[in-house]
Amino acid sequence: MMGTLTLALALLAGPRAEEGQGRPFLHPLFTDHVVLQRDAPIPVWGWAEPGQRVKVALAGQSVETTVDPQGKWLAKLGPYPAGGPHVLSVTGPKEAEVKDILVGDVWICSGQSNMEWPVASSDHAKREIESAQYPRIRLFTVPKKVALEPMETVEASWEVCSPETVGQFSAVGYFFGRELHRELGVPIGLIDSSWGGTIAEAWVSAGTLESMADFKDAIAQVREEKADEGKPQVKYEEALAAWWKKNDPGSSDQPTWADPKLDAGGWKTMNLPGIWEGKGLNEFDGIVWFRKEVDLPEGWDGKELELHLGPVDDRDTTFFNGVEVGHRDNWLAGRDYKVPAGVAKAGRNVIAVRVLDTGGNGGFAGDAKSMRVVAAGVENAEPISLAGDWSYRDSAPIGRLSSPPEPAGSTPNKVTVLYNGMIAPLRPFPIKGAIWYQGESNAGRAAQYRRLLPTLIRDWRGQFEVGEFPFFIVQLANFMQVKKEPVDSAWAQLREAQFLATKALPNVGIGLAIDIGDAEDIHPTNKQDVGRRLALNALAIAHGKDVEFSGPVYKAKEIRGNTVRLTFDHLGGGLVAKGGDKLEGFAIAGEDGKYAWADATIEGDTIVVSSPDVEKPANVRYAWADNPVCNLYNQAGLPAVPFRTDPPKD
């Protein structure tokens, strides 16, 4: 067993081979149809017995190297201009030949489900797939892999973009790459390394992430899990119980909120099933407890029961008369638990469900038929419906919670594990840059994300050793119900955190999706405009093209009496109210911070904002909602970046 200190040093030192697998003579990134990065040194590497000699040849250059004591060899060739096809030959204790190599620009496409979302599920999918005849665009999909330490290899290969290969590839990645290929005329390599529903901190290396105090405990736990790998889950269960007690008042109060003796008379009522947004818990992510009293007939006394709750978003722990009967961490999966014999009794019984929602919707996502309790082995016993009124009480918002423990190797939502399994195996393959569509799973933690996203960018730039490469972010799309009045919004705060990364670091840009979302679906299907807007960033920032790549960006405010005059960068030929003469989406507040919808008019290159309800204005917000109604664009056809003139205080 590796000790904790030894493991920590190993993690910081770099990746090692997957245990139980032989390392390949040539890294799997180098397969037929690979795209290599133009105008950059090209490392080629693999593994063999220490001390052996290896010769690598490509496009008229050849290099010899020796396998190091750890069994790894690496040779650098190039740089090469865009072009091809070429052949790579590697000779030594084994031989390998890679054909149809192109040299162009290589981009990593990463994030959660909106990056993973395939071409086949996007708008006009049939037409897009049939027209995907781009043999100089190449696709590489990294398999989903959770790892407790950095991995070295990946089981995948490059494919030529065609109607036969593009359907299940990242739509945002493909449309981004297609736009660049058309505009630049060079080969494009796209590496899709994405996983739906994942948190940003899972994609950062341990050595970098521990610079943030928020995650030190979680990183220590991952290291302990690696050291204890293969042991029973007892340690995890103990850690989880301790986490609940520390973070959740309902688990630490006496009596606990699961105890049937608890007086819950002051709790509110919610009709279930249903998502709690719109049922009294708008904008809430975190821990919520639900309780329901159920009268059982005499024949059920002491019997084993089957308890069915349907899917619960995201994580539940379910109790029957104070006894835990099950827990799950999968928002799509139904909850079907056994209540052991002897727990249930005739008459009053209490079901309690502790729910942790980490972002987006929360609550009971099934239908009424999915919520029931059944007596096992009781002849002719009719199920008892659990649909209807439940008592509920919110316990702790997501911003107050530390990262919960997870069973070893079981989930992608754990610090560092996706960097380890899906980014580390790619390095030091040279790239042009990266595109990133993620944030839904970190909504509710915007203050932390303002530090976390730049940390991730700096981490990847250090790992790939090609300098401050371009990094382009998709800002979260509009989603959920439209609010009638101005309110604060966790999604608006997260969008702000994404935008602020463009100010914190060089060569970082943002592509908006604020106007192409879907109120009912977190996965908008218009990925073409997302890819195009990211490509505009790449053309301007990465390639120096004279194109407008952003909608209007708030610059400054000037208070004049009862009005606020706003100025902007990225005018793109001038400000416009898309779809009419009236601007929408502006709210204004005085020093009291109470926002009211505002009148906003375009005057030249400025916007003047006012409201009869605010005599002495102090601040303005625009598109500050989960799903804002907003229409400020520039003449280039790009939407304005949502903003608030009062800077974040936390």
Q: Is the C-alpha dihedral spanning 201, 289, 369, 383 positive or negative? A: positive
Place of tokens 């750890």: 70
Greatest mean pLDDT among 306-320, 369-383, 495-509 lies in 495-509
Q: Which two tokens stand for residue 114?
A: 């909106």
Q: What is the pLDDT of residue 244?
A: 92
Contact 429, 106 (CB under 8 A): yes
Alpha carbon 168 to chain centroid, angstroms: 19
Greatest mean pLDDT among 129-138, 409-418, 576-585 lies in 129-138
What average pLDDT is seen over the chain? Answer: 92
> What's the rounded Cα separation, in Å, for the pair 342 and 304?
7
Q: Which among 628, 535, 616 has a CA at the least distance from the CA of 586?
A: 628
pLDDT beyond 70 at 427: yes
Per-residue pLDDT tens over the stretch 342-378: 999 999 999 999 999 987 789 998 888 889 999 987 8
Bond prior to 79 in cis (omega within 30° of 0): yes
What one-character DSSP code corresponds to residue 116?
H
Q: Name the 3-class secondary structure at 169.
A: coil
Q: What is the pLDDT of residue 15?
A: 39
Per-residue pLDDT tens over the stretch 110-161: 999 999 999 999 999 999 999 999 999 999 999 999 999 999 999 999 999 9
For 49, phi then psi, to 5°, come to -70, 140
Confidence of residue 231 (pLDDT cuts 50, 70, 90): low
Place of tokens 């590497």: 45
Q: What is the pLDDT of residue 16?
A: 38
pLDDT beyond 80 at 20: no
Checking phi first, is residue 544 left (phi over 0); if not, alpha (psi -120 to 50) or beta?
left
Q: What is the pLDDT of residue 447?
A: 95
Mean pLDDT within 443-461:
96
Number of residues that this document lists for the chain: 650
* 5-14, 324-333, 343-352, 405-414: least confidently modelled range: 5-14
Domains of the chain: 35-211+410-542 (3.40.50.1110), 255-400 (2.60.120.260), 553-644 (no CATH)
Mean pLDDT within 326-348:
88
CA-derived radius of gyration, the chain: 27
Q: Angle, nearest 10°, between helix axes 234-247 and 216-227?
A: 170
Q: Which among 248, 226, 249, 225 has a CA at the least distance from the CA of 237?
A: 225
Percent of the chain with pLDDT over 70: 95
Residue 372: CB atoms within 10 Å: 17
Residues 6+ apart with CB under 8 A from 378: 299, 300, 303
pLDDT beyond 70 at 407: no
Percent of the chain with pLDDT over 90: 83
Mean pLDDT within 274-295:
92
Provide the whole-model pTM. Answer: 0.76
For residues 22-58, b (16+ Cβ closer than 10 Å) or e, as one string?
eebbbbbbbbbbbbbbbebebbbbbbbeeeeebebbb
Q: Name the 3-class secondary structure at 217.
A: helix
> What's the rounded Cα separation, in Å, for the pair 96 and 103?
19
For 109, phi then psi, to 5°, come to -115, 110
Residue type (1 letter), 648: P
Contact 392, 273 (CB under 8 A): no
> What's the rounded Cα separation, in Å, for the pair 64 and 415?
39
Q: Which two tokens stand for residue 541?
A: 């920032």
Contact 409, 146 (CB under 8 A): yes
Mean pLDDT within 379-396:
92
* 38-42, 359-363, 432-436, 527-531: least confidently modelled range: 359-363
Q: Is the C-alpha dihedral spanning 592, 598, 601, 607 positive or negative? A: positive
Name the E strands within 124-263: 134-141, 159-161, 188-194
Residues 6+ apart with CB under 8 A from 474: 111, 114, 115, 172, 435, 436, 437, 510, 511, 513, 530, 534
pLDDT beyond 50 at 21: no
> What's the rounded Cα separation, in Å, for the pair 350 and 261?
9
Q: Which among 3, 8, 17 has a CA at the least distance from the CA of 150?
A: 17
> What's the rounded Cα separation, in Å, for the pair 640 and 29?
39
Q: What is the pLDDT of residue 8?
A: 32
Q: Which among 42, 58, 43 has a CA at the least distance from the CA of 91?
A: 58
Residues 6+ apart with CB under 8 A from 85: 99, 100, 101, 102
Confidence of residue 11 (pLDDT cuts 50, 70, 90): very low
Q: What is the pLDDT of residue 232?
A: 55
Alpha carbon 601 to chain centroid, angstroms: 36
Q: Name the 3-class secondary structure at 507.
A: coil
The full DSSP string for 424-450 is: GGGTT---SEEEEE--GGGTT-HHHHH
Contact 552, 574 (CB under 8 A): no
End-to-end alpha carbon distance in the chain: 43
pLDDT beyond 90 at 71: yes
* 44-58, 199-213, 320-334, 398-412: least confidently modelled range: 398-412
Q: Which two tokens stand for residue 44?
A: 């080629």
Mean pLDDT within 580-589:
94
